[in-house]
Amino acid sequence: METFLARCASYFAPPSAYPNLPEDPAELLDFAFERDVAMYEFLWESRGLLRTLATNPAAHERQVAVFRAAIDETSRQWTEHYKAEGWFRDDVDVDLATALVSGAYNQLTLVMLAAGDQRPPLEDWLSFAQLSFARAFGSTELLRVIDARSRRSNIEVLVRAARAADR
C-alpha cells in the first residue's frame, strides 16, 4: 500500500517540482491534461488495489488520511500558483477551489471504479473536468484560450464531417 500511495503521490507533485512549467496558458492546459491522463491511467491499471482499498478502508485508514491531506495541500499549491500567474481570477477562494477540485477528482476515481472492467473514456472525463474548472476559476486570458480551442475544435469537426460527406 505504501508503494502504491507513493506512486500516486508522484502524479500529484506541486508546481515547485516542475522548474520549467509552461508560461503559455495553452501549453499549461496541455501540461495539466497530460499529467491528469497519466495519473488516471495509473489509477485504472491499479483498479484492483483501489477496489480492495474501497471495500476495506479501515485497514489503511491512517495512510489514506495522510495521502489525502498531502493531495489537498498539493491542490492548494496549484491553485495558488495559477492565481499568482494570472491564470485564475484574483477573487477565487483558494480553500473552496481546493475542496471542489479535490472532491471532484476523488469522485471521478470512484465513478471510474464503478465502471467495472470496461475502461471508461478517461480522456473525455478529464477534458470535461479541466474545462469546467478553467471556466469556473479562469482569468479572462485563460478563457480566451479555451474559447479559441473550442472554436478550432468545432471547425475541425465540421471539416471532417464535410470530407466524410464528399466520399
**For every one of its 167 residues, what pLDDT tens digit does the chain have, with 9 covering 90 and above?**
778 888 888 888 999 999 999 989 899 999 999 999 999 999 999 998 888 887 777 777 888 888 889 889 999 999 999 999 999 999 999 999 999 999 999 999 999 999 888 999 999 999 999 999 999 999 999 999 988 887 766 565 555 666 777 76
**Which residue ranges make up each domain of the chain?**
2-166
Nearest to 144 by CA among 86, 101, 105: 86
- Helices 25-45 and 2-10: crossing angle in degrees, nearest 10, is 160
> What class is the 2-166 domain?
mainly alpha
Please give the pLDDT value at position 120: 95
User: Full-prediction pTM beyond 0.95?
Assistant: no
Q: How far apart are CA 133 and CA 9, in angstroms?
A: 21
